[in-house]
Amino acid sequence: MSAQGAKSANELAEDRTDLAVVRTVMAADRSLMAWIRTALSMISFGFTMYKLLEGFQEKGLALPNVNSPKRVGLFLIGLGTVSLVMGTVQFWLTLKDLCQLQRVQVWRSTFVIALIMSVAGLFLFFGIVSRTF
């Protein structure tokens, strides 16, 4: 390699730091996607259990408690929504910390999807609560 094409130690360190930040952002994206998958599973399973147990009740099957379908559904939907909100906050705080080292785009697609799903989970939760009372 010629002397003109060689990078200085400072340039190499900056390149490595830049790549480390990119890898950290990608890891944060993957972590948020895992939160999204887990929350989506809990929310959809909660809604499914709610509708299934409600259908059993409508067909005359006696459940141990009249409010069982709503309680099971609300618990799982609430748990999924809370976990998604916690994962989203964790993602945002991670990127906020990275912004101190290098400019990082916070409004990434995974962040937007997590926000949309959080709002949908809240609507679903409060929709079931409004039918309860």
Q: Domain segments of the chain: what residues? A: 9-132
Interatomic CA distance for residues 59 and 21, integer angstroms: 57
| 3-state secondary structure string across 98-127 | HCCCCCCCCCCHHHHHHHHHHHHHHHHHHH
What pLDDT is recorded for position 33? 96
Which residue stretches of the chain have pLDDT < 50?
1-2, 133
Q: What span, in angstroms and rounded, lies between the C-alpha atoms of 93 and 103?
A: 14
> In whole angstroms, what is the distance from residue 108 CA to residue 100 CA?
18
pLDDT at residue 69, rounded to an integer: 76
* Structure confidence by residue, pLDDT tens digits, 60-98: 877 777 677 778 888 999 999 999 999 999 999 999 988
